[in-house]
Each structure stands twice: as C-alpha cells, then as structure tokens.
Chains A and B, each alone.
Chain A
C-alpha cells in the first residue's frame, strides 16, 4: 500500500489518513474536525504557489494550510 503526504495527492484522488505529524494544537484541532487516522479524504484542489489545499472529508469541505497538509500522512485507497 502506497503511503504519501496529503500534499502529493492529485485533485480528485482519494486516500485514507494514517497519521498526523503536526504540533499538539494542530493535531487536536484537526481531530475535532474529524480528521483522525482511518478517515477517508478526497483532495479537491490545491491553490497555486504553495498555497493551501481543499479537501472533502465526511461530506464537508475543509481548507488546510500547505504546511499542515504536508504533515498528514495518507495511503491511497485501493
């Protein structure tokens, strides 16, 4: 199973969260928004020039800063 950072997904690709390497605050905040290990996500779009990414998670759309998105480790959904 191929693992990668969330940031490497292409628009439209789906993946499952394995873990998050952010600071405690960010990790907790992401968890409160439902981004916990095992969660299915879909990358919708990336803003250009190292901007944020937009993902779909649990039927909601969420924007994450690029730095944070790089810390989310995911695996591709088969």
Chain B
C-alpha cells in the first residue's frame, strides 16, 4: 500500500440501497448514475478517506454471477480479472435469506468481502433480530450493520475493509462454487442460526395499503387516480411556469440586438441563445417536476405495483410489466426513456420498448397538443389525442411483437416494501435523468437552432414548403407552411409551434389553421419521427440500422395516419 490507492467494488442485488451507499461514498464525484437497482453502466466515483484515495465502482444490481445477462457477465469479469482490494456487499437485512444467495456466490470468487447489513433499523422494526457476530463467525468475513439512508455504518464498512487489507485475514469460509440448490439450503441454515424473530408478525400499515393498491379490482381505479393526479399537477404547474419564463425572456432578443447590432452573426448567435432558453423552458417546467414525482413514486415503491398491475396488458404488446417504467419516463422526455430500456432483460424486449417509448408524447409534444388543440379546439380533443397515442402504442406494440422473432420473457421482479421516500435519492435520480437530456439533447438542439436560422437567412424556406406540398397540402390538407414546421420539428418538436408563431407573426393560430387542421397537425407531430436527440439515443442503444428503421417507419406511418385522420374528421364534422 505504498501509494495508498484502493479499488473497491459495491455489489448487491436490486433495491437494497446500493445507489444510496454509492452516493454517500462519492457524492457527486461520479461518472454515470442510474436508477436504484437498475445501474447498467459502470458507475465510478472517487473518495478520499484516512489518507487513501479510494476508487469506488458500483456494479449493476444483479441476482447472480452467472451468465444470464450482460450485466452479470460484466460483474463477474470485473471481480475476477481486475485488481479489487475489497468488495462491499450490501444486503437488505429484512430479506437476508434471499440476499445471502448472492453473497454466497460472491464469496466463492475468493476476494475480500465486507458484508453490509443495510436497513438494519427496518429489520428491527419488523421484529427481525440478526446476530451479526454469529454471522461473522459462520461466514468468516467482517459484517457491518448499516442504515445507508442515514449514513450509519458507512465509515465502519470502510474501516473494516482497510483493516482487512492490513491484517491479511484468512479468506472466507466458502471455498468452492456451490450449486443454486446448495446455496439455497446453506442460506436457509445460516438464517436459522442467526435470525431471531422477536415480534409476532402483525399486519402493518404498508401491507394494509398494499391490499388496496394491488387489489384485483380497486388497484386499477387507485392507479388511475394516482397517475391522473400526477399528470394534471404537472400540466398545470408546467403551463404556469412556462408562461412565467416566456414573459421573463420575451424582451431579450431586442436587448441582444441593441447590444451587438444587427448582422447575420448576431442573428446566428441569438438563435444559439434562444435554443438554450428553449431547453430551459422545457426542462424546468415539465421534465424536472415530472421526474421528481415519478422517482417519488418509484422510491416509495409504487412503480413496482404498477408493473404488477399492468403486466398482463404489457404482455399483449410483447413485453412484460417492467416496460411501463420506460414508457412512463417517455412522457417527460424520450431520451432518458430510451436509455432506461436497459432494465428489460432481452435485446428483443429492449428494442420493442425503445421503439414504443419514441411514440409516447413527450413534454415537447405536450406543448404542441396543449398549445394548439387544447387552446383552440378544446381540452377534450387534446385528451383524445393522448388516448389516440396510447392506442397507437398498443397497436404498434402488438405488431412489433408479432413481427420480431422470439418470445416474451416472463416477469420476475422483487416486490419492494412501501417505504418513506428519501429526498436525496429522488433528487439525485432526477438529476441523472436530466443530465442525460442535457448531454444528448442539449448540443443537438443548440446546433440545429443555428442551422435553422442559417437556412432562414439564406431564404431557403419557401423551397422546402414547395417541395413538401404534395404531402402537406394534397394529402394532409394543411397549409404549405407546415412543410417547414414539420421539417424543423425533427430538431425539437415544440419548434413546430414556435416557428408557426414566428412565420405568421402571431400566436393566434386560428388565423391560419381550422380545428381539423390543428388536430391533423398535432397528430402528425405526435407520431411522425423521434426528434434528433431521441434518434441519437436510439443509435446509441440499438445501432444505426435499427434507429433509422424506426425513424423511417414512423415518418411513413404518421403521414398515413395524419391523412386518414384528416379525411375522417372532414367526413364527420
């Protein structure tokens, strides 16, 4: 230990508070973050402790070190091949017996392991008394009781780890690799020896609550109420905040021009500033509150119940219940939603889920639907469009699951107990999602804003609208100007509305569009293409070929649907 540099690894199954521990250890000095228990990428961070520089690696939340998934393979490779000074294996004390199954596997790799008994306070509350000294004797490794959310036991774990390095204690008792059956039996025996149940099991309030939220009939109305309340709260808050922000920034362009004068470069640089403002105007009012509420539900334990209730429905579109989590993320922004498809187990399901998330109306599409249809046609029609989008998602999901080879994997998921949400976890998760949005969408949005301004200044806009008029005017029944809107909407969808206002010189869209045209334009905007940032995310996750396959399909599909909607509405109204 001459340079006093250590490499440690955090390992554990999903939902044991591993991310919380990681955040405590490394603060914000980390490269990549993810959902608790859904950490797929290598999340690394650095910590300085007692003169040591400690690099901490957060392994994905996995149940096994076998080769069931990519994450398991990565984890096993890393532990066996890299220089690992010690491993902190964090377990949920209230589920010791199942969690020990993974610990036993970990021990067979013959690396120094510290076992952290997390949520020891919850276990005590539940009347589960764990004799950790006895457990230490049996396993032959240091055992540390921990309450990660309150920061208890964390320095103990580090101290014991460093101590272990100095003393070179004998390796753990588990010598060889055991079969799953042997591990299960051993874990059971160990728990019989170290666990004492002190309180008789009584029905606690979370269980009572579960009887409603997972009830075969009442579970569904409860879910609808919770989700609708959440969406309504975000719409109202978002509308209010975005109008405030618009007011604040309304005079800035004139200010910019009065400082720098009027020239091509000033216009181009202003468009970069304007795009940055647009990013903020979508992130602050919509994306941030949405993710805060969603992660509140997740940390509380409710999203797992949604997955339980919707599993059957999701099976109909070729994926299992967990897919509803990326789909719900999509209502905020499609970029993090696409990236979160990694929680699905197989490539096939990741792809179907990824494809479907790009059809979910994101915050920017919400701006169009609410600002155009909601404002000028009626709120009922706006909600109708949402319903329409959901029906399309189901229809296309069903189609995709028929076309793509392979079978739907069955849902296997641990049901977390309801617990009091941890504010720090929620804020950090929101921040990580927001970072994905800013890193991937940010540069693309700003660059493309400048490009549009360039095209506008070059006087090429009429050429675009003429070129597209066979589709926009003849087939979709829209004014020729929409060709420009739909072209630039690819860059970021709310541009469709922003540019329309700029081009016609007023925000009273009723002057150029009749209600039928508004609905047609909104439904095409909703379906027609993932925006550039989402395409970039798709390329990252699924490769060029599939990303462009999805894009091409959605353009064709939206044009087909848009024209059909137009004709039906003309016939009906």
Chain B residues within an 8 Å CB radius of A61: 414-415, 417
Contact of B412 with A47 in the complex, beta carbons under 8 Å: no
Chain A proximity of B377: nearest CB distance (Å): 35
Decide: B184 and A59 in contact? CB cutoff 8 A: no
B308 touches A63 (CB 8 A): yes
B311 CB within 8 Å of chain A:
yes
Q: Is B312 an interface residue (CB 8 A)?
A: yes
Q: Produce 1/0 per residue, A12-54, CB < 8 A to B.
A: 0000000000100110111111101111000001111111101
Contact B68 A25 (CB under 8 A): yes
Interface check B536, CB cutoff 8 A: no
Among B66, B97, B219, B307, contact of A34 (Cβ-Cβ < 8 Å): B97
CB atoms of B414 and A28 under 8 A apart: no
On whether the beta carbons of B412 and A68 are closer than 8 Å, the reply is yes
From B321, which residue of chain A is reached at the shortest CB distance? A52
CB of B465, distance to nearest CB on chain A (Å): 49
B interface residues, tally (CB under 8 Å): 39
> Is A57 an interface residue when CB atoms closer than 8 A count as contact?
yes
Interchain CB contact under 8 A, B101 and A45: no
> CA A75 – CA B307 in complex, angstroms?
28
Min Cβ gap B214→A in Å is 6
Residues of A with C-beta under 8 A to B101: 32-34
B555 to chain A, nearest CB (A): 35
Q: Is the CB of B63 within 8 A of A29?
A: yes
Taking CB as reference atom, which chain B residue is nearest A63?
B413
Bound complex: CA of A65 vs CA of B308, how far in Å? 9
Interface size of A by Cβ–Cβ distance < 8 Å? 35
CB distance from A65 to the nearest CB of B (A): 3
Contact flags (1/0) for A50-78 with B, using CB distance below 8 Å? 11101001111111111110000000000
B263 smallest CB distance to A (angstroms): 62
| A60 lies within 8 A of B311 (CB) | no
Q: How far is the CB of A27 from chain B (nearest CB, A)?
A: 9
Chain B min CB distance to A3 (Å): 20
Indicate whether A65 sits within 8 Å of B415 (C-beta atoms), given known contacts A47-B216, A57-B98, A59-B95: no
Give Cα A27–Cα B268 distance, bound, in whole angstroms.
Answer: 60
Say which residue of A28, A32, A52 sits within 8 Å of B311 (CB atoms).
A52
- Closest A residue, CB atoms, query B416: A61
B412: which A residues are within 8 A, CB to CB? 26, 29-30, 33, 62-65, 68
Enumerate chain A residues within 8 angstroms of B188, measured Cβ to Cβ: 58
Q: Does B309 contact A (CB under 8 A)?
A: yes
Is B482 in contact with chain A by the CB < 8 A criterion?
no
CA distance A66 to B307 in the complex (A): 13
Shortest distance from the beta carbon of B436 to any chain A beta carbon, whole Å:
28
Which residues from chain A sit less than 8 Å from chain B, CB to CB?
22, 25-26, 28-34, 36-39, 45-52, 54, 57-68
Known: A33-B412, A64-B410. 17 other contacts (CB 8 A): A22-B410, A26-B410, A31-B181, A31-B184, A32-B180, A33-B414, A34-B98, A36-B181, A37-B181, A49-B312, A58-B188, A63-B307, A63-B308, A63-B412, A63-B415, A65-B410, A65-B411
- List 25 A–B pairs whose Cβ atoms lie within 8 Å, in order of A's numbering: A28-B66, A28-B68, A28-B180, A30-B412, A32-B63, A33-B101, A33-B414, A34-B97, A34-B98, A34-B184, A38-B185, A39-B184, A47-B308, A51-B308, A51-B311, A51-B312, A52-B311, A52-B312, A60-B95, A61-B414, A62-B412, A63-B321, A65-B410, A66-B312, A68-B411
A-B residue pairs, 4 tightest by C-beta: A65-B410, A31-B180, A32-B64, A68-B410
